[in-house]
Amino acid sequence: MTSVNITTTKNTVTVNEGESTVVTIATQGPQGASFDLEDTNKIDGSVIYYDQTSATFKADATTTKLTLVDGGNF
């Protein structure tokens, strides 16, 4: 019987074994790009925009299709 010792420290895996063996390491990580959207105050017609102060994307009642078309500052 072969003995395998595995130690993990800061995302490093060390395998000590007497014979040549294929070892597969798999970790679960994020799937795709990270995207934070604050949409708790969204309404019909909200437009997504980036708010630098909070460093997030937002969809709220402040910026909508109507505020861009009817009286938006261009």
> Which tens digits make up the pLDDT trace of 16-51?
777 777 777 777 777 777 778 899 999 999 999 999
Query: Which segment of 6-10, 13-17, 43-47, 57-61 scores lowest on mean pLDDT?
Result: 6-10
How many CB atoms are closer than 10 A to CB 43? 11
Q: What tokens appear for 66 in the block?
A: 């109507």
Q: What is the pTM of this model?
A: 0.48
| Separation of alpha carbons 11 and 17, rounded Å | 20
| Separation of alpha carbons 61 and 44, rounded Å | 8
Q: Could you tell me if 63 and 54 are in contact, meaning their C-beta atoms sit under 8 angstroms apart?
A: no
